[in-house]
Chain A
Amino acid sequence: MNVEQLYDFLKKTQEEKGYFFNNDKSRVFDLLHGLLENRGQYGYMCCPCRLAADDRDWDRDIICPCVYRAPDVAQYGSCYCGLYVSKEWNERSIPHSYVSERRPPEKAFGKL
């Protein structure tokens, strides 16, 4: 799957769930490239903004879309890496604030 195909596939499936791509399309494509790079390197699409442990089971929580996306979008309007956002975030009707890492430290350091 190339980046355009990934874009089209995710846009359709994720928007149905209420998660929208950031309206900065070049940023979205950079993030999707990162996902594909991680798939090439680790065999799974780990969040491009997190350090993968190279262990699919251990990193299940940060395979995109990560399990932190829902609480992050609910709290900040954006997920940690900024790939997925809410409609309000894209419309700038809510502030664009810094999204703190929600992954527990024991997960981040556990296998590294």
Chain B
Amino acid sequence: MENCEIKLYALTTCIHCRDTKEFLDKCGVDYDCVHVDKLEADERRSLLEQIREANPGCAFPMLMIGSKVIIGFKRDEIREALNLE
């Protein structure tokens, strides 16, 4: 799992998104973060269309680890998906 792409879709005001970022940072995980609430309207629309199937509730944070999707801050699931101790 070490080399797979890790992408976090988050909201700037969301506390669960912040928890997720802090957790990933603490674990030394490299990831790209997209703040969905700060995207321009067109960009936002197109992104939401892309994630709709994987995230039907449009909930954040949405973490993509390769093809695995984790919605919400779920420490144990993240640990497992990234093989963290």
Within 8 A of A (CB), among B38-63: 44-45, 48, 52, 56-60
Which residues in A have their C-beta under 8 angstroms from that of B36? Answer: 51
Which A residues form the contact surface with B (CB < 8 A)? Answer: 27, 30-31, 33-35, 37-38, 48-52, 81-82, 98, 100-101, 103, 105, 108-109, 112
Do the beta carbons of A49 and B48 come within 8 Å of each other?
no
Q: Contact size class for B?
A: 20 to 34
Give how many A-B residue pairs fall within 8 Å (CB-CB): 58
Tell whether, in the assembled complex, residue A105 and residue B56 are in contact, meaning their CB atoms are under 8 Å apart. Answer: yes
Chain B residues within an 8 Å CB radius of A50: 11, 14, 60
Interface contact A109-B52, CB-CB below 8 Å: yes
Which B residues are in CB contact (< 8 Å) with A30?
15, 18
Which B residues fall within an 8 A CB radius of A?
11-18, 36-37, 44-45, 48, 52, 56-60, 72, 74
Measured between alpha carbons, how far is A51 from B12 in the docked complex, in Å? Answer: 10
A105 with B57, Cβ < 8 A, contacts A30-B18, A48-B13, A48-B15 known = yes
Q: Would A81 and B58 count as touching, CB distance under 8 A? A: no
In the bound complex, what is the Cα–Cα distance between A82 and B73 (angstroms)?
A: 12
Tell me whether A103 and B57 are in contact (CB under 8 A).
yes
- Whether the pair A37, B57 counts as a contact (CB closer than 8 A) is no
Q: Is the CB of B14 within 8 A of A48?
A: yes
**Known contacts A51-B37, A101-B59; is-contact A112 B11 (Cβ 8 Å):** no
- How far, in angstroms, from A33 to B12 measured CA to CA in the complex? 11
Known contacts A30-B18, A109-B52, A112-B48; A49 and B58 CB within 8 A of each other: no
